[in-house]
Amino acid sequence: MSTFLSLLCAILIFGAIVTVHEFGHFIVARKCGIDVHEFAIGMGPAIFKKQGKHTLFTIRILPLGGFCAMGEDDEAKADDVNNFRNKPVGSRMAVIVAGAFMNLIMGFILGIVILLADGGYTSTTVAEVVEGTPCAEQLQKDDVLVSMNGMHLFTANDIIYQLQNDDDGVFNFVIKRDGKVMEIKNVAFTITEENGNRVLNYDFKVYHKELTPMQLIPQAANKFVYYARLIVISLKDLLLGKYGLNQLQGPVGIVNAITQTAKQTGFKPGFLLEMAMLISINVGIFNLLPLPALDGGRFVFLVAEAIRRKPVSAEKEGMVHFIGFALLMLLMLAVTFNDIKSIFVPQDTAHIMCVNGVDR
């Protein structure tokens, strides 16, 4: 039963994220007077169809994506005033970015829900420092940690990220102490060995604070920026070769990750919402990349049209997106194979170390 519930949670979360994305395209298209021929959730053969006044609504058998068909890859007839390609370039730009924008909004709203459900948040204010450690010589209780090694700290998870991606266990901090901003250099953390592996010890704890109405939006924004920056950094590291393609995850991997999270946490809503928030923001940012077949790639063509004051022919643009889509599908096949392999072949698991919160 737990496996069934886990899979159901995964499909519902992924389906909700896709639906929100496509709804963004759909609602802005209709507001701009553009005909949406089909609003589809999923891929492959349709298992449900409902004909609306202007749009065919379908649910397809594979819950791995979706689309809004607006005839954007077809040459428009001059008298077809509701065709996508006959609308002003500004309207088309709004339609194209609306899906990703809705995913980003969804991520922010989920951040608000998570904070309200928890009733508190883990701050970046030092609650205690372990005595006898190098940290105790420079950090003090109630220091507000502003940045580490030049990275601004929005949440306690930013501290974790810096500690987990450290090379030498020595950090430069910018802190706020007694209302004054100051820099503290060369703050060292103790390093031990466990089973021959180097382990960086967390030599301080931070406060877990009660959430107030005035802090709700700022803390939701901090959580949103943390995830968005983490995704951007990961994309940059991928391009620079820090991570290999075998470390990418596709829809199968995402569903499996949600399923494992559901099992391990006993279906605790907070953990599932955190994962949904991360995936929603990830989908929003990824779709804005200027690559063919993605929303960002289509936006590039619209920018070119605005500059040239002349649209690229539908045939040429469609060919570019078709090639991009084919390459994307090849990548998805490779990633999906890796996802499936990771389900059946045991993988080494990383130990995630957390900064412990202290109630205040």
45-92: pLDDT as tens digits = 999 999 988 899 999 988 778 889 887 766 666 567 888 888 999 999
Residue 3 burial (CB count, 10 A): 10
| Structural contact between residues 247 and 335, judged by C-beta atoms closer than 8 angstroms | no
d(CA 112, CA 107): 9
3-state DSSP assignment of residue 241: coil
Instruction: Supply angle C-alpha 272, 336, 61, rounded to 5.
Output: 75
Domains of the chain: 2-117+252-344 (no CATH), 121-210 (2.30.42.10)
Kindly list the catalytic residues. Answer: 22
DSSP single-letter state for residue 134: G
User: Cα dist. 3→40, 182, 215, 296, 331 in Å?
Assistant: 27, 51, 38, 36, 28
Q: Which residues contact 341 (CB under 8 A, 6 or more apart)?
A: none
Number of alpha carbons in the 13 Å side-chain half-sphere of residue 81: 2
| Structural contact between residues 224 and 108, judged by C-beta atoms closer than 8 angstroms | yes
C-alpha dihedral (287, 292, 298, 300), degrees to nearest 10: 100
Give alpha helix (H) positions in 152-294: 156-164, 213-239, 251-264, 269-287
DSSP single-letter state for residue 248: -
Q: Which residues contact 320 (CB under 8 A, 6 or more apart)?
A: 292, 297, 301
Q: Tell me, rounded to whole angstroms, the distance of Cα 327 from its chain centroid.
A: 22
d(CA 322, CA 297): 12
pLDDT band at 360, cuts 50/70/90?
Answer: very low
Give 162-195 pLDDT, tens digit per residue.
Answer: 888 877 889 999 999 999 999 999 998 888 877 7
- Which has the closest alpha carbon to 134: 179, 185, 198, 65? 185
Give 262-304 pLDDT, tens digit per residue.
Answer: 555 554 667 778 888 988 998 899 899 998 888 999 999 899 9
